[in-house]
Amino acid sequence: MRSARRAAWYLWWPFALLCLLRGSRWIFSGSLPGSATTLASASLGCGSAAALYLLIVRPSAPHNQSGELFRSALGGALLITGPFLGLLYPHALPAASLTMALALTPVVIAVCEAATRHTGETLAGRLWPGLATIAGLLLLLTQPSLSNLGEDAILVLAPLLTGCGAVLFCSSHNSVWRLPAALLGACTVLGLGAAINLATHVGGWPGMAGLAAGFDALEALLALVALGRLSATRWSAQFAIVPLLVLLEGVVFLPASLPARMIVGLLLLAVAAVALLVPPSEESRFDLRASPADPPLRIKADIHSSGR
């Protein structure tokens, strides 16, 4: 029992810390100057996290892993860059619109996994939590305007890139090079976006070497570690949990009576989060087929077997 509890802690603490950090980031951004994310700070954060990882772990040179490294780098670039696409747009994108768009990430992941695994499992049980998240957010947030082609493209691409990147990262071989390759891939894409913004005078480099880079480095590292230990479906629960935390924090800091509409929306977010955190039966079977030489996956198998 104690070993199962220790294994569960090993699996879940990066995800829990990631949700707590992302759900409380708005508090730091409002009270600490220079702590808001920019493309430059995110790029610098991913690059510094990769350098620190390589400095501490000191992995040996990879052998015949060019395809796996490319898959990890592309997956990391997509899943980390997806939520930051709004920073490429010349005008500020409403946070509520982007939050609703990212709530579709579990749906994208469900479709991608069903297409790549070629299982006979129906999609209904995997799609409804993401749709419940959307329904809850529609009750809680201002509905986005779909009258601007540029904003609409970002709202479509954000969950698509994030979800496809998560599935691609999970499909790559779990080696010590997977995480730094993903971080360096994200660093390259975000740095290119920051350079484009600087060249077009859309945005500058303020805060890139300050608190924002540190927060962004920690978020990127936690996101990849959590994704490597959990499945993409469970990892996507953050897109229901983080808005739920933000809204609950807002209620705590600005106490007010909650209308029935908001209560129903919060309940829908909570139910969707729980449903995404519970692994589907098909996903459990894939975890149990993992190689016993893979420690994180072996711990997953231990948890599943101890729960029976």
Task: Judge contact between 96 and 48, C-beta under 8 A.
Answer: no
Task: Judge contact between 223 and 182, C-beta under 8 A.
Answer: no
Tally of structural domains, the chain: 1
pTM of the prediction? Answer: 0.82
Average pLDDT score over the chain: 80
- 53: tokens are 């990882």
User: DSSP characters for 66-96?
Assistant: HHHHHHHHHHHHHHHHGGGGGGGSSSPPPHH
Task: Judge contact between 179 and 224, C-beta under 8 A.
Answer: yes
Q: Is the pLDDT of residue 283 over 80?
A: no
Average pLDDT (12-41) is 86
Percent pLDDT > 90 in the chain is 35
> What local confidence, expressed as pLDDT, does residue 279 receive?
60
**Domain of 60, in residue numbers:** 2-306
The predicted-structure confidence for 34-59, as pLDDT tens digits, reads as follows 778 889 899 999 999 999 999 988 87
Least confident of 41-55, 71-85, 266-280: 266-280
Helices (H), 35-65: 39-57
Q: What is the DSSP letter of 168?
A: H
